[in-house]
Chain A
Amino acid sequence: MKKNIRSALLGLVLTHATLYANEYRLGDGYFLNVRGHVGFEYWAFPEADVDDISTLFGNLDLRLHPREKWEIRLHPRLVVDFENSDRSRVRPPLFDDLYFNYYSSKFEVRAGYQIFSWKTVESNSPADFLNQKDWEEDLLDPEKLSELAVRARLVAYMDNEHIFEFYLIPYHRPAMLPRVDNPYYFFPSSFMITNDRNEHQYAYDMGAWMPQGAARYSSTYLDFLDLSLFYFFGYDRFPGLFEKSSDVTGNTVVAHEYRPIMKTGLTFQGVLGSWLLKGEVVANNHLEEVTQMPPPISETDNPSNRTFEIDPFVAYTVGFEYTLYSLLVQNHDVGLILEFLGDSDFNTPVGDLGSFRPFRSHVFGGLRYAWNNVSDRSVLIGGMYNYWEAIENGETEFLYQAEFSERLFKHLVVKIRFSDLVITNTRSQLYSFRDNMRLDAEALISF
């Protein structure tokens, strides 16, 4: 069965690889833009007792439009994991975008499945929460899942542009969490996390159909600072996990609980000379008590659900980026990034946090070396370090990654990545992943 699928998909890859088209004219005044990519990724885990992962992925991005006023976008995405079918995204098909967009100089409305970005920082973004994430596909770097939403934009011109956005998200999309065969599964195997939405628990009777909303204002100030302010009401994206039942083999079934939350915050990015300053600050207020199971430590552990309040907290990431141009060699640039990640609950025990918040007292440092040559060769090195645990308790918690990428033959981009976690802090939410050193190789053909 798997061989048949592989053969069929390989044929699809070759077909798509030759479809080097951009824009087609359809009838009188309508156009179709086509782009996409297919790729293959291989993950090896030299230290962990888990199978290597090989994944075929791809997407097709179609835009139908009459050049102005509106467009329809259809953007399906496919993921096939040859070893672990839980990570595959084939049935039902995934759509990163499936929307109608109307726009004018002062008003826009976009309705359908769509992905948003409020992100201004390079590391962990507390403000980029609107979309649910696919933690099951890659816990370290999850893809966003599209949300069914309506977004309206109103533009006011005074000295410059002031943008008011209003979001309505009528349906809460549940998270996809790693399940028991996933290399990033974070519970002992006798605890079975389920992603079945029929098992999930919601604080309100309307369940996943409770309307969620957001409002956002953005503009540029002092001729250099892009500032946005936002408000959100809806369900928290990352669930609490509670003991639901036991299955026939005696394993504990762990289901998701989604709680209402109010978020207010701001983001900024501004350039002063060669310095790029950026940051995000988000205040979080859970509106109801939460029910949650403490994380089990062993197969025989027997934690019980408990109900408690999560205190309001503030999460932030602030930092800067500085580029050194032609530092050592003409046209070779070095970008330096430094960001501080914090949380007002930085000293709270993980059992009282209520969700996955691993970066509460960290500093992120990154370096990008770009050759600025025709093949866009670059090297990225970055690391996240928990300075508070190091200072207070002498513990080590350092997550780091290196990546090399280069374009070959116009349509092919290759990447090699290495990531690892060095950790002695047993209280960290990342401690479960201490053996997950990972080597990635990826090849991507774009058209």
Chain B
Amino acid sequence: MRHILVLMLFTTLSFAAEKSEGRKIAEKVDANNRGFGDETVHTTMYLISARGDTVVRKTVNMTLEREFSEDYSIIQFLDPPDIKGTGLLTYQNPAGDDQQWLYLPELRRVKKISSANKSGSFAGSEFAYEDITGNTLNKFTYEKTGDEEYEGIPCYILTKTPNYKNSGYTKIRMWVDKEQFLTHRMEYIDRKNSLLKVQTFGEWKEYGKGVWRPDQINMENLQTQKKSSLIFKDRKMNRGLKESDFTQRRLERLIH
């Protein structure tokens, strides 16, 4: 009996240690994302249908890093031309729903929109809103579930589970390299516990002190055979952007 109790205690402690390790890994991954101050980047999004037809969307994205991950961001469309100037302003709220406003340039109108649907598609792509508008650390619980090489790179396998409502995923698996804690692959498991999407990352580059960004992100929907790719260029950080650059008024002007 005593042996069983010791075994149970040992198993519990081991399990708890694995969970803590998962959180630690996630914190190191997050540290590679943070410390940028502010960021502006031009993004080209390629949307590829199951038949291979490709459509291009272009945006310029601005982000302001704030305390407690309550970041502000603006995404403004540059292409296709009929929606050029359409902008999405987001005030992230790690504890609940983000605040979002949509600017419609033809109507000169700022419209408030619901951010409750995290699982909805962003601009018709395979990226969901929750994939794009912030993977705030505390929105998930983390568990290290293995070790594996990915394309010759030794990686931890980290499994994160959303702990917010309306997520389209039951869990997400990440391949995180053991040396630099950069993510190389992510697998998204849907609400039916089926593998839904696979995300891979292009070449990672370091911007300034310890801030890393990939130059390309690819997403493939294994159930529909559709794909989307994000190509980033002209990335600038620490330009001195302020909170006043992330307001409804700012949406009325073009972003550069």
Q: What residues of chain A have their CB less than 8 Å away from a CB belonging to chain B?
A: 20, 22, 31, 33, 35, 37, 63, 67, 71, 103, 105-106, 108, 115-117, 119-120, 153, 155, 157, 161, 163, 220, 223-224, 226, 269-271, 273-276, 278, 323, 325-326, 330-331, 333, 372-376, 407, 410-411, 413, 444, 446-447
Contact = CB atoms under 8 A, between A and B. Distances in A.
A250 B2 CA distance: 114
Contacts of B47: 374
B55 A374 contact: yes
A323 B253 contact: no
A37 B108 CA distance: 17
26 contacts: A31-B256, A35-B81, A63-B254, A103-B253, A105-B242, A105-B244, A115-B108, A117-B109, A117-B110, A119-B107, A224-B99, A271-B100, A273-B97, A273-B114, A273-B116, A274-B117, A275-B114, A278-B112, A323-B117, A325-B119, A333-B120, A407-B80, A410-B80, A410-B81, A411-B81, A446-B82
B90 to A, nearest CB: 12
Contact of B114 (A63, A117, A271): A271
Contact of A271 (B81, B110, B115): B115
A143 B249 CA distance: 23
Interface string B25-49: 0000000000000000000000101
B224 A35 contact: no
A115 B84 CA distance: 18
B75 to A, nearest CB: 16
A325 B117 contact: yes
Contacts of B114: 271, 273-276, 323
A275 B117 CA distance: 11
Given A276-B114, A325-B119, A271 B99 contact: yes
B84 A410 contact: no
Contacts of B55: 374-375, 410
A119 B107 CA distance: 9
A71 B253 contact: yes
A323 B112 CA distance: 13
Interface residues of B, number: 39
Nearest to B247: A161
A372 B113 contact: no
A70 to B, nearest CB: 10
Contacts of B78: 22
Contact of A373 (B84, B97, B112, B124): B124
Given A105-B244, A115-B108, A372-B120, 7 more contacts: A117-B108, A161-B244, A161-B247, A271-B97, A274-B116, A275-B114, A375-B55
